[in-house]
Amino acid sequence: MAKKKPMKIATIGGGSSYTPELVEGFINRYDELPIKELWLVDIEEGKEKLETVGNLAKRMFKKANLPVEVHLTFDRRKALKDADFVTTQFRVGLLDARAKDERIPLKYGVLGQETNGPGGLFKGLRTIPVILEIVSEMQELCPDAWLVNFTNPAGMVTEAVLRHSDFRKVVGLCNVPIGMEMGIAKLLDVEHSRVRIDFAGLNHMIYGLDIYVDGESVKDEVIELMTDPDNTNFVKNIEGQEWEPAFIRSLNALPCPYHNYYYKRPETLKKTMESAEKEGTRAEVVQRLEKDLFELYKDENLNIRPPQLQERGGAYYSDAAVRLITSIYNDKGDIQPVNTMNNGAIASIPNDSAVEVSSIITKDGPKPITVGDIPIAARGLVQQIKSFERIASEAAVEGSYDKAVLALTINPLVSSDVLAKQIVDEMLEAHKDYLPKFFNR
């Protein structure tokens, strides 16, 4: 077999606190993924973070004795030129914008969260125009490259690329499925590599339809363990709340942590409001964590990913991302959950929509595995969120105020059109600097 050419990878949002984890993933899989150049791109406002993270990345590759060149730049086009893979992990408006996404809705008694409800809408409105610019530049400068997007809301972003461009080499990625696999491995006390879950749904709205250990279904055993109040290794969701046994038994599927916002709305809203009052919103907490992380990153003796990064959230992103890139590059044909075009995999979702589903990963990208359909109990909610994503992506592309109000009104976390309009009005004003399509008309 002919030796493959060395690779160039461009990471947009390279100054992110997550980047050392990504670098660790590249180091661990270097034998399969011979990277020659890693280009970390950011905006001038993030210069100090980019330099801090970039220098840590250089020290990590040096410690691993790997000949990887790390380039730091504000010039996105230079980074994209002839890239083999492009990863995106940026945040338009930085964490200050996320804090507004989380805090403003709480004033109206609505959940504030960066990927769900009003926060998800406005993160999408800020992000989608930038992603479409990146896609356009990729078509010109690296038309054969794959775009691997971790930027939230990953499902809405993938939907926008598929519907509002002719670029198809895009894969959306999330750490929730791999986190669910890790949780099941812990519950059953087995190695993660032995666990596989059949995933289907949307980003942050995904269900485990079946669960396997060594190829044998263990879903019934898992559901029994999850509904056993005496089980000390109980699978809990993101808020640490147990699911009602009758609900889980009847659903007969594994919900994801983000289902809290829909199936436990009052409890989750109460906890979120209490937490925001005591310690700040999640963005405000993360801002404090990141301050400490970047102080650690500046230590010239540090040449590994510090364990404190785990507290930042987003665990397993690097493993999911590098595993995906490795599988595309090596045409592995293994199964991974990704955001990709449905193509008939889920019967009740349009074929040309983005879904999150277990897929066979090949050199030609993901091939979604046909699951038939998701359980009837979950189908309506999934379709409602898909409608929200589609209308929201249209609002972002067109700069349409009316469609922004419509999108938020049909979101299940918002109870009326009047409330939706009030929230949209305040959040539009709060994010005015990052929403030029809505104001420059």
pLDDT in tens, 385-435: 999 999 999 999 999 999 999 999 999 999 999 999 999 999 999 999 999
Q: Which two tokens stand for residue 93?
A: 């408006």
Give me the pLDDT at residue 231, please: 64
Using alpha carbons, select from 214, 91, 71 the residue that is nearest to residue 152.
91
Give me the pLDDT at residue 239, please: 45
Rounded to whole angstroms, the Cα distance separating 177 from 316 reads 10
pLDDT, tens digit, 9 for 90 and up, residues 205-244: 999 999 999 999 999 999 998 887 766 554 444 445 578 9
Question: In the chain, where are the structural domains located?
Answer: 7-172+285-318, 384-439
Give me the pLDDT at residue 198, please: 97
Give me the pLDDT at residue 48, please: 95
Give me the pLDDT at residue 316, please: 74
Fill in the amino acid letter for 313.
Answer: G
Cα 404–Cα 407–Cα 408 angle in degrees, nearest 5: 90
Rounded to whole angstroms, the Cα distance separating 67 from 75 reads 23
Identified catalytic residue from 30, 108, 207, 258: 258
- Write down the CATH number for the domain with range 7-172+285-318: 3.40.50.720
CB contact set of 140 (below 8 Å; sequence gap of 6+): none
Give me the pLDDT at residue 114, please: 85
Q: For the chain, 441 residues long, give each residue's pLDDT as a single digit of tens.
A: 445 678 999 999 999 998 999 999 999 999 999 999 999 999 999 999 999 999 999 999 999 999 999 999 999 999 999 999 999 999 999 999 999 999 999 999 999 888 899 999 999 999 999 999 999 999 999 999 999 999 999 999 999 999 999 999 999 999 899 989 989 999 999 999 999 999 999 999 999 999 999 999 999 999 998 887 766 554 444 445 578 999 999 999 999 999 999 999 999 999 999 999 999 999 999 899 889 999 999 999 889 888 777 766 656 777 789 999 999 999 999 999 999 999 999 999 999 999 999 999 999 999 999 999 999 999 999 999 999 999 999 999 999 999 999 999 999 999 999 999 999 999 999 999 999 999 976
Rounded to whole angstroms, the Cα distance separating 186 from 195 reads 10
Is 152 annotated to bind a ligand? Reply is: yes
Strands (DSSP E) found in 291-398: 334-341, 354-362, 365-368
Segment holding 6, helix H or strand E: none
Q: Which two tokens stand for residue 367?
A: 């091939």
Residue with the two structure tokens 């404090």: 288
Q: Which two tokens stand for residue 174?
A: 């999330």
Is 164 annotated to bind a ligand? Reply is: no
Using alpha carbons, select from 185, 141, 204 the residue that is nearest to residue 339.
204
Give me the pLDDT at residue 3, please: 52
Is residue 258 among the annotated active site residues? Answer: yes
Say how far residue 339 (Cα) sits from the centre of its chain: 9
Distances (CA, A) of 314 to 12, 22, 251, 353: 17, 11, 27, 25
